[in-house]
Structure 1
Amino acid sequence: MAASKPQVKVVVAGLTKRFGDVVAVNNVSFEIMENEFFSLLGPSGCGKTTTLRCVAGLESADEGRIEVGGRVVYASAQGINVPANHRSIGMVFQNYAVWPHMSVFDNIAYPLKVAGLRQQEIRNRVERVLAMLAMEGLEDRMPNQLSGGQQQRVALGRALAMNPQVLLLDEPLSNLDAKLREMMRVELKRIQKETGIPILYVTHDQTEALAMSDRIAVMSGGVIHQLGRPEEIYNQPRTPFVLDFIGVVNYIPCRIALSADGGARILLPDGQEAVVGTVAGTAAAAHGAGQLGVRPEDIDLLDPVGAPAGTVKGEVEFRSFLGSTYEYRVRVGELALRVQTGKNVHFREGARVAVKINHGHFLAAETGATGQRAS
């Protein structure tokens, strides 16, 4: 039997929001499927939080259409604008908004009491949420007796207790330390898979979005630059902004000539010629001047003695140990390249090396890039 087609749980179509003369969200459209973890990713001021607040009903959009669970909650053409408390959404804010005068139990139970549920139903739901969040035995504690991670779980539990059609999370991990943030990433994914509730997640943290999301919409200037799976966003960026914003990139000025096998030969400013294993983004110019964007992990450092053809000469300037990897700064002519290798690659500072470029993303000269060139 063929698997049933996933249902669309959230529809955002042609969403536009202005603040005076500033267009904060400009004709944004996307859909979120059932059981999906969907992230809006971008720098501060890109429009991601405003988009989320429009979905929540905390901001009134100027144009567009929003559906939640198959129901229209906003439509500018029809004059529909359902209040936030009637949109069947759960919301977790950046600062958690846990009530300091209420116990864990009462914080989670509060929206259920406001909704008029019976006492036994309230208790059943709170106990179910506490078990899901691994917080049994903490129901009588006050917020000042909880860690930051526990307070965050209380806020999450309060949102989940209402059985929402969609859960909206606005940078909920930004106030946690690195170790706790990593732990909560795993917990959020577990809870999302366990409940099946789709999540609309807002973050500026690229690692967070890549690690947690089923799909990501990368935003800047109020528009979506690219929407796709994390692997697509990282490995196949469609615009210079996405290439530059997601991860670290070396920009190498060069002239390029493509080969039939999908690779290329590039001529560097110092006259050295390098062979690049695979090149993306070359549709605009098979031959010509531009920049090659190369991620640090797409460069290999080799012993110059017996190095294969197509490598270029470099010298190690700095080396940093990052735990599971080494990061090198390698001088190639006038260029300084960041290179990331495994722990089994060892070159001392000042060592001569052969630099092998495995993959790059070519930007024709007229395209430009938002990042800094290797220097």
Structure 2
Amino acid sequence: MADINMSSVAKHFDGAVALSSVTARVRDGEFVALLGPSGCGKSTLLRLLAGFEAPTQGAISIGNREVANAATGRAVPPEARNIGFVFQSYALWPHMTVRRNVSYPLEVRGLPKAAQAQQTEAALETTGLTQYGERMPSELSGGQRQRVALARCLVSDPDAVLLDEPLANLDVALRASMQTVFSDFHARTGATMIYVTHDQAEAMAMADRIAVMSEGKIAQFDTPEALYNRPRSRFVAGFVGDGTVLPIDALSHGPKETKAHFGGTQVAVHTDAEAPNLICLRPENITICESGDLRARVARSTYLGGRYRLNLQTPNGDLLLAETRERFTEGAQLGLSLSAPWAFSEA
């Protein structure tokens, strides 16, 4: 396995900027998710790492080897990078059995038959496919086909595994079970993995760290907990998790706490910024309480199974999200108590 380093990597298509000066390091054995909306550059970055595209500027290294450098023209082809790639569409050979699909990369490399058989059986066992070895892809479920794609990727003992929205074609229940398969695969193999998704629940459930992307740049590269609890920008605060970002009107600093004043009320905040100008209010920061800090009207109540999500509107027009086990009708007036939201600074 290997570190992956990107230095000022950019990609332009016919003058349009798809990726803009990305610098990041993925540590050896780390599971990293690239998360963001459609068109943010995450798949482009993955294709640059795989060698399917060449960077317009910058350099990429895998382990101790530079595999791409726009300045020198270096571009190691995909088959020479020792990278495993799992496609969204599985990309299985329909006329080959599961075992042959998995062993095919070894055939192309010209490994001896005995080595091919040994490595193929090990890959099938690791992905729980031993009993399906003689089946055709058309005889498998979507989750089983995805495991075949994973086994085919694993069989070559790659330095890193790249996954491009591999669960997008599966139903909700199967996606949840396949998340466990990918997490277990990572735990067993210790592979360096980079996983592209637009689904934050997938990223939060599996990744050690998440690179949140927007407009061709990495907005924040951090642990799931830090992205949720300590976002560094309005975009990240709004994209990761539910909540509301509100401007701070003024700050007051006491000996033990800092209070943010906004919308006619104030609340003690936690922050590491000298002069934060925004707060991120998550549902867990809001408690329904008659003797609360402010009043709000229920604009919408949505049942989520065991709890309700409330869209609330304050007298000055701010929109907040809260969750409760009690049902409230639309139009109900509620008192809200606020507790320690995150405050951050953005230019």
Read off the aligned partner of 2:94 and give its amino acid letter: P
Question: What is the identity, as a one-letter code, of the residue corresponding to 2:228?
Answer: Y
- What is the identity, as a one-letter code, of the residue corresponding to 2:265? A
User: Which residue among 145, 162, 165 is the counterpart of 2:159?
Assistant: 165
Gaps of 5+ in 1: 1-6, 368-375
Gaps of 5+ in 2: none
Q: Distance in 2 between matches of 1:138 and 1:128?
A: 14
2:11 is matched with which residue: 3, 14, 17?
17
2:294 matched residue in structure 1 = 312
Match of 1:154 among 148, 151, 159: 148
Would you say 1:274 and 2:265 are equivalent positions?
yes
Deviation at 1:8, TM superposition (A): 5.3
The equivalent residue for 2:338 is 357
Match of 1:331 in 2: 313
- Partners of 1:133 and 1:158 lie apart in 2 by 10
For normalisation by structure 1, the TM-score amounts to: 0.85
Deviations 1:13-37 (A, max 9, x none): 1111111211211111111112200
Instruction: Indicate the larger mover: 319-328 or 8-17.
Output: 319-328
For each residue in 1:169-192, what CA deviation from the matched residue of structure 2 results, as whole angstroms up to 9, or x when unmatched? 011111111111111111111101
Query: In 1, Cα distance between the equivalents of 2:257 and 2:16?
Result: 43
Letter matched to residue 266 of structure 1: H
> How much does 1:265 deviate?
4.5
Q: Secondary structure at the match of 1:137?
A: helix
Task: Give the Cα–Cα distance (whole angstroms) in 2 for the partners of residues 166 and 254 of structure 1.
Answer: 44
Correspondence for 1:3: none
What is the percentage of aligned positions where both structures have the same residue? 38
Please list, as runs of the form range in 1=range in 2, the aligned pairs for 1:206-245 lying within 5 A after superposition: 206-245=200-239
How far apart in 1 are the matches of 2:224 and 2:245? 22
Call closer, same or farther: CA 1:145–1:54 in 2, change over 3 Å.
Answer: same
The structural deviation recorded for 1:259 is 3.6
Deviations 1:18-69 (A, max 9, x none): 1121121111111111220012111111111111111110001122111113
Residues 1:282 and 1:325: Cα distance change in structure 2 (over 3 Å): farther
Change (3 A) 1:155 1:291: same
* Greater Cα offset, 322-331 or 32-41: 322-331
Give, as a single letter, the amino acid of the residue that structure 2 aligns with 1:276. V
Deviations 1:224-249 (A, max 9, x none): 11111111112111122211221223
Matched, 1:296 2:283: yes
2: CA distance, partners of 1:263 / 1:322 = 34
Separation of aligned partners in 2, 1:198 and 1:336: 41
Query: Would you say the 8 A contact 1:35–1:193 is kept in 2?
Result: no
The CA distance in 1 between the partners of 2:314 and 2:170, in whole Å, is: 39
Aligned position for 2:259 = 264
Aligned length: 345
2:117 to 113, 116, 123: 123
Q: Which amino acid aligns with 1:230?
A: P
